[in-house]
A = this chain, B = another copy of it.
């Protein structure tokens, strides 16, 4: 049996490894457009910051390691079309056309950066990061650049603001929305903005950009809200959209945000064709519908399911809750589930509390303030989401994972008080900050009930 996989990033590799693990006799071939299989795209900001001097270390696995699992790698092969009647994929390799046959096919074509309506996106000095080669070009330019404007203050935007500041560059960060990092509530976005500014980043929210022009030494970035800023380079990182073109052309149904429609087995609407990762829609466990949630963690899970099922298995993707974490200078902010805004938009009757406690017993050296926001359903007490902001090193990210695990199980906020969480004075309190926050939320909910009652 021949399993063909288009794409060699998280979902593709995860699928290939799982297929070979479950069915060691299956012939697994992976085609990818570039020369960089299994690279940690999430690591690019740390390469560009100078913290990872050798880009080749960003590979999760070397080519040899991938091949040692019995996976055939065709790099530099651009997939052009899927022929579902003949079970073939037409590819393009150095000007030459090839046809690859398959019994089962997994499409893991990832995402494409969104190109916002800004004049001048293709000018020299303007970077819309997508491929590894884009990163190399940018890195080359960074050797001589001293200033940057970053358009878009999502995860990548704030990480790049940190990264370029770390290089000693002057950085301006511009966001169209009212706060940075809208994957968390604006209260936390504002604190992240303050953290960025404390490190010298100029942050402008509520600011649309519509033009970039060349200057003698670099670029000039401006927009209708009065922003007008010259810098050596501009980075445009306003998000991604699913790269679903090849699957759509083959007749696969698309779903949310034009991502490839999949069922929990990661099967598409076409026979013998699975899809996974940033090109597909993702089941959200809380919203109970499909969304577009391009994340490496989810890509790996979906890839694993697709790989197992392509070789005859019956795994199912259990859905995501949107767990994310990011380090910005000395702070970590992490979230899971729904933000206040998203929960309201989804029609929930939302109650939000924010609790501030030391991350561990304050008598033990090194404690710092940890803020825990809880989004819960006011009438049922259901946990809908949580966000934590704290110092790097204070176990913010894995505290969010306790909430993520609670969300997976549909716990009520009050029930988290019953969890047997670890405590030692250098790392927590007898009631973990998580539980002090769930107790505060529960008390607020009850006091509101008694006031209303």
State the A residues within 8 Å of B (CB): 10, 21, 40, 42-43, 46, 51-52, 57-58, 60, 285, 295-301, 304, 317-327, 332, 334, 336, 361-365, 392-393, 395, 397-402, 404-409, 417-428, 430-432, 443
Instruction: Name the one of B296, B422, B428 contacting A336, with C-beta atoms under 8 angstroms.
Output: B422
Instruction: Name the one of B21, B323, B365, B427 contacting A421, with C-beta atoms under 8 angstroms.
Output: B323
Distance to closest chain B CB from A392 (angstroms)? 7
Closest to A423 in B: B297
CA distance A428 to B443 in the complex (A): 34
CA distance A402 to B405 in the complex (A): 7
A397-B422 contact given A402-B402, A406-B405, CB 8 Å threshold: yes
A52-B422 contact given A327-B427, A401-B432, CB 8 Å threshold: no
CA distance A21 to B443 in the complex (A): 9
Closest to A325 in B: B422
CA distance A257 to B295 in the complex (A): 50
Distance to closest chain B CB from A233 (angstroms)? 23
CA distance A255 to B421 in the complex (A): 25
Q: In the complex, what residues of B have CB within 8 A of residue A425's CB?
A: 40, 42-43, 46
Q: Does A325 contact B428, Cβ atoms closer than 8 Å?
A: yes
Q: In the complex, what residues of B have CB within 8 A of residue A318's CB?
A: 418
Q: In the complex, what residues of B have CB within 8 A of residue A325's CB?
A: 422-424, 427-428
Q: In the complex, what residues of B have CB within 8 A of residue A420's CB?
A: 285, 297-298, 301, 319-323, 336, 404, 407-408
Q: Does A363 contact B428, Cβ atoms closer than 8 Å?
A: no
Q: In the complex, what residues of B have CB within 8 A of residue A322's CB?
A: 420
Distance to closest chain B CB from A342 (angstroms)? 15
CA distance A318 to B404 in the complex (A): 20
A404-B430 contact given A43-B363, A365-B51, CB 8 Å threshold: no
Q: In the complex, what residues of B have CB within 8 A of residue A60's CB?
A: 430
Q: In the complex, what residues of B have CB within 8 A of residue A321's CB?
A: 420
Which of A10, A409, A420, A423 has most chain B Cβ within 10 Å? Answer: A420
Q: In the complex, what residues of B have CB within 8 A of residue A407's CB?
A: 420
Q: Does A405 contact B419, Cβ atoms closer than 8 Å?
A: yes
CA distance A318 to B324 in the complex (A): 30
Q: In the complex, what residues of B have CB within 8 A of residue A324's CB?
A: 422-424
A52-B364 contact given A401-B398, A405-B419, A408-B419, CB 8 Å threshold: yes
CA distance A295 to B420 in the complex (A): 10
A297-B404 contact given A364-B46, A395-B395, A398-B399, CB 8 Å threshold: no
Q: Does A398 contact B422, Cβ atoms closer than 8 Å?
A: yes
Closest to A305 in B: B418
Q: In the complex, what residues of B have CB within 8 A of residue A365's CB?
A: 51
Distance to closest chain B CB from A300 (angstroms)? 5
Closest to A426 in B: B327
15 A-B residue pairings within 8 Å (CB atoms): A43-B363, A43-B364, A46-B364, A51-B364, A285-B420, A296-B423, A296-B430, A324-B422, A336-B420, A395-B395, A397-B422, A398-B399, A398-B422, A401-B422, A409-B409
Closest to A300 in B: B430
A363-B58 contact given A46-B425, A395-B398, CB 8 Å threshold: yes
Q: In the complex, what residues of B have CB within 8 A of residue A52's CB?
A: 363-364
Q: In the complex, what residues of B have CB within 8 A of residue A299's CB?
A: 430
